[in-house]
Structure 1
Amino acid sequence: MIQHYMKCFLRAILAGIAIGLGGCIFMGMVTSEYKWVGAILFSIGLFTVFTFRLDLYTGKVGYAVENKPSYLVDLVVIILGNFVGALIIGQMIPMPEAAEVLIVDAKLGGDIDWWRVFCKGVFCGMLMFIAADYYKTQKKYLATFVCVPVFILAGFEHSIADMFYFCASGTFTLDAFLFILVVIVGNAVGGILIPLCKKYMYEDPPTGNPQ
């Protein structure tokens, strides 16, 4: 069991680094008129996670519905590993001042609307489950390069990406910690929404491709 968690932790660290790589691309283009290109290239993070079967919280939390309660321990290990990976690359690649204003200050500046933050986390969680489940069932990356740009351009909140942004900007405050916690919960609610509803919304068990 210990070996299982150690391997899970290592995969999670690498997943956090992969998302950080995507974040580096985006924060380098966030001030450009071609911000949408950065949103598309951010997909390299999830592409790497799927290709090497790494453990990313937002890609795994949706499967809590079909796993034993002990799976929750895996999710905690994954979150911690994802943070370590985000911290490593965040400290190696500091965020430019202009990007900090547009990303970090936009998230934490002024009075934070925690309900809106939660809702943005929910929608991001839904998109990440769609991407993860599409790859799991189809072994294709199409949803990766659709869902990632959608959540970025829509302004939804991805807990691991936010960890990277805060680490890269050196933002280790109580508000940042609470922000991440709210997004983690939102990502979880969004991630389990579709698989939970699948248990009850079909008259017959779905077989094959939907018509």
Structure 2
Amino acid sequence: MAQSRQLPAHKIIGSFLFSFGLFTIVQRGFALYTGKVGYIPENAPIYIIEVLVTLIGNAAGTAFAAVMLRQTRFSQALHEKADLCMTAKTSDTIISQLILGAFCGMLMYLAVDNAKESRKKNADMSFVFGISMPVMIFIICGFNHSIADAFYMFMAGAFPNDMPYILTVAAGNAIGGMLMPIVKKITSS
């Protein structure tokens, strides 16, 4: 008889809390790299600079958060978990890092685009679920999010050694995030 594997409760809770973070970002009009990068095909080339500035700003924000959290009683536990996380992620192949980043990018694009469409239609429940579900899926599946992983990198004290991984995942997030807008553009022509 096969044993069923249960999803750990902390993964479900963590995915829901992350979706609250994206909900807040979208609701307040803040900038998140993975929420912006998918819109490159729909904007003028100058928009790429805005996306890159957002990526740098997000990385700086994660570094700041890690530095602050290192000053708390949670420092050791967070450092250990972040170190385990980054060790697993950076030991993966580059192709796997890109693919897992691309799937995350697709889902992040869907979350932000769902929010935009729901706003147009004044559909509050669609707004909430349209953001929550893609985020929960990418976390539960274990896809790579460059900004979340940047936080883990700084928390693990793995900067600058793990920067190539972050850049690979950021590229994967971009590929996945731009995939649907490119397909929409091609099919609507």
TM range (shorter): 0.7 to 0.9
Equivalent residues of 2:109, 2:177 under 8 A apart = yes
How many equivalent pairs are there? 169
Compute the displacement of 1:118 (Å). Answer: 0.4
Compute the displacement of 1:48 (Å). Answer: 1.3
Compute the displacement of 1:74 (Å). Answer: 0.7
Q: Which stretch shows the higher mean deviation, 148-157 or 94-103?
A: 94-103
Match of 1:148 among 113, 135, 138: 135
In structure 2, distance between residues paired with 1:100 and 1:180:
14
Asked if 1:186 is matched to 2:166, the reply is no
In structure 2, distance between residues paired with 1:35 and 1:186:
22
In structure 1, distance between residues paired with 2:173 and 2:37:
8
Higher relative contact order (CA 8 A, sep 6+): 2
Per the alignment, residue 89 of structure 1 pairs with: 65
1:164-202 Cα deviation digits (max 9, x unpaired): 11111211133x110011011101110110011012235
Dislocated runs of 4+, deviation >6 Å:
none
Per the alignment, residue 48 of structure 1 pairs with: 24
In structure 1, distance between residues paired with 2:169 and 2:83:
20
Q: CA RMSD in A?
A: 1.7
Asked if 1:108 is matched to 2:108, the reply is no
SS at match of 1:149: helix
Alignment of 1:66-85 (within 5 A): 66-85=42-61
Stretches of structure 1 lacking an aligned partner (at least 5 in a row): 1-31, 204-211
**Percent identity (aligned):** 38
1:92-139 Cα deviation digits (max 9, x unpaired): 124525413541222124xx3110000000000000000000101112
Asked if 1:99 is matched to 2:64, the reply is no
In structure 1, distance between residues paired with 2:31 and 2:83:
30
Per the alignment, residue 159 of structure 1 pairs with: 146
